[in-house]
Amino acid sequence: MRGDYLNWPRLVEDALSKWGSVSVEGPFENIVVSGMGGSGIVGDVVKLLALERLSVPVEVVKSHIVPSYVSTRTLFVSVSYSGNTHETLLATARALEKGARVVAVTSGGLLERLAVERGLPVFKTPAGLLPRVSFPHMLTGVLGVLDSSGLTVASRAEVEEAKRQLEREAGEIAGEASSLAEFAYSRELLVVATHSPLEPLAVRAKSEFNENSKIVVKVDVAPEWMHNDIVGYEKPLFDEYRVVAFYDPDDQAGRGLVEFMVGEHERRGRRVRVLALRGANKVGKVLYAAMLFGLASVELALKRGLDPAATESIARYKSAAGRIFGTGPLKP
């Protein structure tokens, strides 16, 4: 899997070659991005990139339930790498019932079939990868769809610049990832801490360590952290933890918030690793963080003698999902 992560510049390049191939005509009052796990994180990152750039709200749906405001004026982006995820398929069906304009991002499965049957635009991502490894391709695909639909949250030039950065720095990122894996290889709970609005990157880090390394991770986000969690660290029942904290060096307040968190943990004698995100632009910082945490989580799995690709319990859940949602098993 290490090689798959290091191949990310090629994945971005492939998705860039299809930039502009899918567009949807507005106007739209809102954008909803639906998806779970390694596909769902695409929506979180789109929301992050849209924060200071788009005048329409972006909502992320990580369940089978869609917001009541979804309507004919909604651009609904349905992201499922496999195309066979219950929650995403149910949410997409509900969005279609409400008349939303739906775009599918998938490597195939039932989502692609639904899109073909309903004449919906599809951005195809290459099959044969793991969903979480396909992240930069699906993200670039969605950024391209939004840009071509007059809803730019990142331009093609910004994504190209981010890709060049990954190409230049992949070796260095792999080195940092090894050191991070060394740090995380401990019996202590791993806490990933950051500042708003970078929560999606901390969630991505958590999910990568969950799925690849098979460990439990806690996510802490400042400044909300200063209003509740901070007190929980005063007298925790379980206080064996270590912290990976990261900040955006171009965000002075964000950096100050993370430094404050770090100070709190250090005065309790906890071990803390602090990272500054690198990147010429926001997409670059996202890809840097995602590659760093992805590689570190794979390294940690290998150190533990585990297969980073295997996610047995997700498969167990997926085979029960049809019963839970009352839809019966999927028939691909």
Site of interaction with ligand PA5 (CB under 6 A): 36-39, 80-82, 85, 88, 130-132, 211, 311, 314
Name the minimum Å distance from CB 107 to ligand PA5. Answer: 8
Q: Catalytic residue at 211?
A: yes
Do residues 24 and 149 lie in contact, with contact meaning Cβ atoms separated by under 8 Å? yes
- Could you tell me which of 82, 8, 112, 110 has the C-alpha nearest to residue 311? 82
Burial of residue 152 (number of CB atoms within 10 Å: 0-12, 13-18, 19+): middle
- Could you tell me which of 170, 169, 175, 192 has the C-alpha nearest to residue 274? 192
Which of 18, 218, 303, 318 does the annotation list as catalytic?
318
Measured from the CB atom, the residue of 9 and 131 that comes closer to ligand PA5 is 131
Which of 211, 214, 264, 299 does the annotation list as catalytic?
211
Residues 178-198 as b/e (b if ≥16 CB within 10 A, e otherwise) read eebbebbeeeebbbbbbbbbb
Name the minimum Å distance from CB 164 to ligand PA5. Answer: 26
Do residues 162 and 135 lie in contact, with contact meaning Cβ atoms separated by under 8 Å? no
Name the minimum Å distance from CB 124 to ligand PA5. Answer: 14
Do residues 254 and 262 lie in contact, with contact meaning Cβ atoms separated by under 8 Å? no
Measured from the CB atom, the residue of 81 and 209 that comes closer to ligand PA5 is 81
Measured from the CB atom, the residue of 125 and 165 that comes closer to ligand PA5 is 125
Measured from the CB atom, the residue of 189 and 314 that comes closer to ligand PA5 is 314
Helix/strand/coil for 157 = helix
- Could you tell me which of 124, 119, 150, 125 has the C-alpha nearest to residue 24? 150
Q: Catalytic residue at 87?
A: no
- Tokens 């003698």: give the residue: 305
Name the minimum Å distance from CB 233 to ligand PA5. Answer: 29
CA 249/CA 289 separation, integer angstroms: 13
Name the minimum Å distance from CB 13 to ligand PA5. Answer: 22
- Tokens 């972006």: give the residue: 58
Measured from the CB atom, the residue of 86 and 101 that comes closer to ligand PA5 is 86
Residue of minimal CB distance from ligand PA5?
A: 37
Which of 25, 52, 117, 227 does the annotation list as catalytic?
227
Q: Catalytic residue at 59?
A: no
The residues that are catalytic are 211, 227, 318
